[in-house]
Amino acid sequence: MNEGFQYIDIIVIAMVAAFLVLRLRSVLGRRTGEEKQRFDPTAGPGAPESGGRDNVIDLPGRGPVASEAADGTVAGGLTQIQLADPSFDPNGFVAGAQGAFKMILSAFAEGDKATLKPLLAGEVYQNFVRAIDEREAADETMETELISMKTVAITEARMEGSDALVTVTFKTEQVNIIKNSDGQVVDGDPNTVEQVTDIWTFRRDTNSGDPNWELLATRVPDEA
């Protein structure tokens, strides 16, 4: 039975996890400068690379988030969480986060607020709604294709009172474009695969019977 609840827990964190890379220049994520030309069977070798403008929307709680465990390690933080919640499974959490990431990306691109609402904390949800509304007001549509998930890993973990906080870093390859009402691409390049890194922090009250995690904060790597 606990395994069933743990799976639901993971799906929700997954659902909570996957929400923010979509305008993906629009609500999270930063291009790394390592974009590469998407394979085009009609193009010859050595086709030139192309990029797009970086467009990031600031979100509540965005910025450095301290989440060091008592002993200063991720492993130590995960141990603290497992002591507070024996059902917590780091591997399952990561798998759920990966699934959620995909779900949220798709919902944001499609402007599906109903799907997004139960997955996001209040202010985070409002920021995404605002981005969707602005896109619709401009009579624009978004198309997003997740090419690959290169890395999905827990990079920070700790307990804060009864709250478990887990940060996941996603390194993905995506194709993101915005089209106007005439179907013309006004942002992005359909032939360019972008290298995107996103850092999401999730929180859950381990004293609560609710197995769901909420998205607490999102950020991108600090500038070098």
Residue 121 domain flag: yes
Cα gap 194→173, rounded to integer Å: 5
Q: Which of 36-40, 114-118, 133-137 has maximum average pLDDT?
A: 133-137
Residue 214 domain flag: yes
Q: Strand pairing partners for 141?
A: 179
| Domain that residue 114 falls in | 2-37+61-219
Residue 43 domain flag: no
Q: Which of 40-54, 65-79, 95-109 has maximum average pLDDT?
A: 95-109
Residue 44 domain flag: no
Model pLDDT, residue 211: 86
Query: What's the pLDDT tens digit per position in 3-40?
Result: 555 555 555 444 544 443 333 333 444 444 444 443 23
Please return the burial class of 65, using the count of CB atoms within 10 Å of its CB with bins 0-12, 13-18 and 19+. middle
115, 120, 124, 130: CA torsion to nearest 10: 10
Cα gap 147→211, rounded to integer Å: 30
- Window from 30-34, 97-101, 170-174 with minimum mean pLDDT: 30-34
Is residue 201 predicted with pLDDT exceeding 60?
yes
Identify the CATH number of the domain in which residue 13 sits.
3.10.450.240
Could you tell me which residues come within 8 angstroms of residue 63 by beta carbon, excluding any fewer than 6 positions away?
217, 219
Mean pLDDT of 166-183: 94
Model pLDDT, residue 205: 92
Backbone torsion region of residue 143, taken as left when φ is above 0, otherwise alpha when ψ lies between -120 and 50, otherwise beta: beta
Is residue 120 predicted with pLDDT exceeding 50?
yes
The number of helix segments (H) and strand segments (E) in the chain equals 5, 7
Look at the chain and count its residues: 224
**DSSP annotation of 206:** T
Using alpha carbons only, how large is the chain's radius of gyration in Å?
A: 18
Residue 115 domain flag: yes
Model pLDDT, residue 83: 96
Residue 47 domain flag: no
Q: How many independent structural domains does the chain possess?
A: 1
